[in-house]
Structure 1
Amino acid sequence: MSSAISAPIAYGYLRVGTDGTGEQVRRLEDGIRAYAEHRGLALRGIYRETGSGLRLDRMASTVQGAGATHVILPSLEQITNHLAIQAAVIALLHVVGARLHLLDRAREVGHG
């Protein structure tokens, strides 16, 4: 019987606007992958939110469906500039039991 401990599951999350280039998206995704690897997290996937508006219900169901306990974002500003919505994202991830990691700050946010 193996006593190996599996790596915590992480999920990346990006907002992809119509003004973003493929190269910009690739750089953000590469940053998420490198961060997960450096932190010893098993990156299950990267969700790309497109269109107008932020779908917090989709974010929650994607994170829960993947069994992720960590979510990696390039920055809160990358998904929204609205402070109230940024606070809602932090609260939502706390409710679903996921720790938030921000690449622009290279740290975890809002989860004890």
Structure 2
Amino acid sequence: MNDTRPVAYGYLHVAPDADDNASWKLEAELKRYADDQGFELAGLFYEDVGGCFAAWEALTQELRQANAHHVIVPSLVHLTQHELVLEYLLDRLEQGWRAEVHELHPQ
């Protein structure tokens, strides 16, 4: 019997001046969610500059390399606040990498 849990990655936007405690709380929530849903949280990707998608690019590379199909975010706002960009990013995850996005706090 195979006890391997599906791999998931977390992605969050953290402002450079954000309170460390708030960031740690989000990390803990992502880890707890992954565990509760039966995922192995293999890593967290942090975007700290608005409009910069360096961590996003690293995440998508990791999804391909690990053949992973789950991304956990606190909310979709952590991807972007721009509706058209959000649609593009979700489409790339869902269609391009066949990844499912899980939201802790849907808005």
Provide the rounded CA distance (Å) in 1 between the counterparts of 2:49 and 2:14: 8
Unaligned runs of 5+ in 1: 106-112
In the TM superposition, what are the counterparts of 1:10-89 in structure 2 within 5 Å? 10-55=8-53, 56-89=56-89
Give percent identity, aligned residues only. Answer: 30
Please give the root-mean-square deviation of Cα atoms over the aligned residues, in Å: 1.5
Match of 1:92 in 2: 92
Which AA in structure 2 matches 1:19? D
* 1:54–1:79 contact (8 Å) kept in structure 2: no
Alignment length, in residue pairs?
103
Q: TM-score, normalised by structure 1?
A: 0.82
| Large movers: runs of 4+ above 4 Å | none
Query: How far does residue 63 in structure 1 lie from its aligned partner after superposition?
Result: 2.3
Which AA in structure 2 matches 1:59? L
| Structure 1 residues 48-104: Cα deviation after superposition (integer angstroms, max 9, x where no partner) | 122232424333113223432100000111232111111112111111121110000
Q: TM-score, normalised by structure 2?
A: 0.85
Unaligned runs of 5+ in 2: none
